[in-house]
Amino acid sequence: MQLSKLADTLIGSEIVKLGGEIRALQQQGAKIYNFTVGDFDPNVFPIPTLLKDEIIKAYQNNFTNYPAAEGNLDLRESLVEYIHEFFNISYTTDELLVAGGGRPLIYAIFRTILDKGDTVLYAVPSWNNNHYTHFVEGKHVLIPTDASTKFMPTAEGIAPFIKEANLLCLCSPQNPTGTTLSAEELKKICDLVLAENQRRGDNQKPVYIMYDQMYSQLTFDAVTHVHPVGVCPAIRPYTIYLDAISKSFAATGVRVGWAFGPSVIISKMKAILTHLGAWAPMAEQKGTAVFLKNKEAIVTYIDSFKKEIAYRLEAIYKGLMDLKLQGYAVDAIAPEAAIYLTIQFDLVGKHTAQQVLLEKQCDVTSYLLKEAGLAIVPFSAFGAEATSNWYRLSVGTCKKEDIEAMLAALSNALAKLQ
């Protein structure tokens, strides 16, 4: 059967594939500590009470028809206030577009800005930029990163590729690393883009920045969220932001996301999404509009939410550092934000108790899953080389009482290696 080139070449989600292996082991009765999904257990992390109540009220009031194609006006007005209050920048309702979560908005950004063969710059590891670039038949250019920069892109790493770029994809706090861009580094990146756009003049397509700040509210300790227009106002004409209630308010299944940026780009994105029908549901929009106007409810929820997330990340980080001190080949980057911990298992070349050689990194992943019950996502699922020994650990479904047991199981598994 002959299908489209896209259908034949698109790679399925590596995380979904890993999820299938986890379910198979669970069906066999194995105890699995599942730290793979970038989602929340709603019994551990429920959405804000006010948000839930207002969504229910909207259904009770029969808000079940089509919403406005660009998002309901009351929600966009609430977003204007929310963006100004929490990010200290001002956008109008015409510069805002609402959709059913972030994914359709990312797709619309790629389709609006890029033609076939245009160049997309993105860091490795990063979430799904490789797949969206494939959707539009773009040219992939990978920004090199490593542990020395906490796997965040730098202006120095971007500079060699900027002259061929059409879209620069940035995410901070970053999925999958749980690390962030500093104001100083982000300013350098913005200045780099501005200089390149000035060089191109009016006759060439400029470099645009897609700035994914889905985890903007989830920063810990002294870490502060920064964003392009906040550090470099002149970058505004070239920046499209992505945000949602999905991560900052544990509302992944509620499906309300938004983009904001230059009105000419937002209007074209709207035109694309009208043909896809990727609207956020009417009642969910109504509930979100009320919730985002209530600063007290937002701050109260975020304060409690962050404490719970930070506790889990820090407890696991400390446990891994203890294992490192004991001489095991593990490491981690101190958590800064989001729901993720970047961890390392340098175990290739070791033998199991059954004298089976861990020959490749995929063997390490399998060993950790089967012997320790530890399910984590290798950076190779986020575009890194298959040989990378770094992983994403997500605490969105983590129960506090499982942390000690997981670390004990991991310690036992490591102790068996020779």
Q: For residue 179, is pLDDT > 70?
A: yes
Mean pLDDT of 48-64: 98
Which among 217, 212, 170 has a CA at the least distance from the CA of 190?
Answer: 170
State CA 333 to chain mean position distance. Answer: 17
Q: Where are the alpha helices (DSSP H) in 201-237?
A: 228-231
Q: What's the sign of the alpha-carbon dihedral 243, 245, 251, 253?
A: negative
What fold is seen in the domain 5-45+300-415? Aspartate Aminotransferase, domain 1 (3.90.1150)
pLDDT digits (tens, 9 = 90+) for 137-165: 999 999 989 999 999 999 999 999 999 99
Q: Which amino acid is at 151?
A: F
How far apart CA 220 and CA 306 sit, in angstroms, is 7
Query: Where along the chain do its domains lie?
Result: 5-45+300-415, 49-294
Q: What is the pLDDT of residues 400-412, one digit of tens each?
A: 999 999 999 999 9
Average pLDDT taken over every residue of the chain: 94
Q: What pLDDT sits at residue 18?
A: 76
How many Cα atoms within 13 Å fall on the side-chain side of residue 383? 24
pLDDT in tens, 79-95: 999 999 999 999 999 99
Selection from 183, 187, 169 nearest residue 131 by Cα: 169
Average confidence (pLDDT) over 288-312 = 97
Q: Is the pLDDT assigned to residue 13 strictly greater than 80?
A: no
- Does the pLDDT of residue 11 top 80, yes or no? no
Spatial distance between the Cα atoms of 377 and 397, rounded to a whole number of angstroms? 14
Q: Using the predicted structure, report yes or no on whether residue 14 has a pLDDT greater than 80.
A: no
Specify the CATH class of 49-294 in words: alpha beta
- Separation of alpha carbons 20 and 36, rounded Å: 12
Q: Encode burial over 226-252: b for 16+ CB neighbours within 10 A, e otherwise.
A: bbbbbbbeebeebbbbbbbbbbbbbbb
The enclosing H or E element of 299 equals: helix 295-325
In 49-155, beta strands by DSSP E: 96-99, 119-123, 139-143
- Residue 336 phi/psi, 5° resolution? -120, -35
